[in-house]
Structure 1
């Protein structure tokens, strides 16, 4: 099952409204919460906030669930494992995911030493891809349900 950040939710629109209010406050033009909600709803193509609220889901689904089996890559190394933690971050678009690998991963590419990891925590977006990348441009983690 694939998810997209293009799918808005009540939670993401409320977060956008809060950010809009803060932006207006910094500019010296205060904006009420209701007015911010209306502006954000219209920016997403809805007639008004009530229409958006009625049609949108409360929250967009997480890419993985606690207790779920997953596969993917971590620092370029393939893995299979168990999700032992998922936290929605404050930007409402990223998740902190903790995975316990079935087999420890040697996350170092050097031939001179090893660094085995059994459990890691990484930030991923709704697609299960880390925004942070290695020096060669590869996302730190790519994760998908098994």
Structure 2
């Protein structure tokens, strides 16, 4: 499974960090090579293909008033979209008013119910952040 899709700037920042890390280990590489390695990490044949995919990534299209279903911290919900804002190409921040409050704490001795949540989701409808068991923190169904 490929990691969450970055922005162009995010991928360039990753390439810069990779270059610095490899240089520190005595393996000097150029910027172009580090971009290629990052592209391969995300399953692309080269940087040009990844860059084109980033530019073409459509943003999910939800609007205030839309009804959605999904999971937040692995808890299923039904909700109304209250606001949407474009964060970067392909990624939107959504505010959701849940039909029923969900308990976002996994401990039996403590509860924290939320009826409103906000999160950023990408082209596949899920957040880049994951829970400790590997599931996206926020997942909206299409």
Aligned residue number for residue 63 of structure 2: 65
Contact 1:70 1:80 in 2 (8 A): yes
How many positions carry a matched residue from both structures?
101
Q: Which runs of structure 1 show a deviation greater than 6 angstroms over 4 or more consecutive aligned residues?
A: none
Contact 1:83 1:98 in 2 (8 A): yes
- Using structure 1 for the length normalisation, give the TM-score: 0.58
Cα root mean square deviation, aligned: 3.2
Q: Aligned partners of 1:127 and 1:64: how far apart in 2?
A: 13
Structure 2 residue ranges without an equivalent (≥5)? 13-47, 50-54
Q: Deviations over 1:43-89 (max 9, x none)?
A: 46xxxxxxxxxxx98x8342422210000100000000100111111
TM-superposed CA distance for 1:16, in Å, is 5.3
Structure 1 residue ranges without an equivalent (≥5)? 1-5, 7-14, 21-42, 45-55
Alignment counterpart, residue 96 of structure 2, candidates 93, 96, 99: 99
- Higher relative CO (Cα under 8 Å, sequence separation at least 6) belongs to 1
Q: Deviations over 1:76-123 (max 9, x none)?
A: 000001001111113x13111111100001111100011000000011
1:139 aligned to 2:139?
A: no
Q: Aligned partners of 1:64 and 1:126: how far apart in 2?
A: 12
- Using structure 2 for the length normalisation, give the TM-score: 0.59
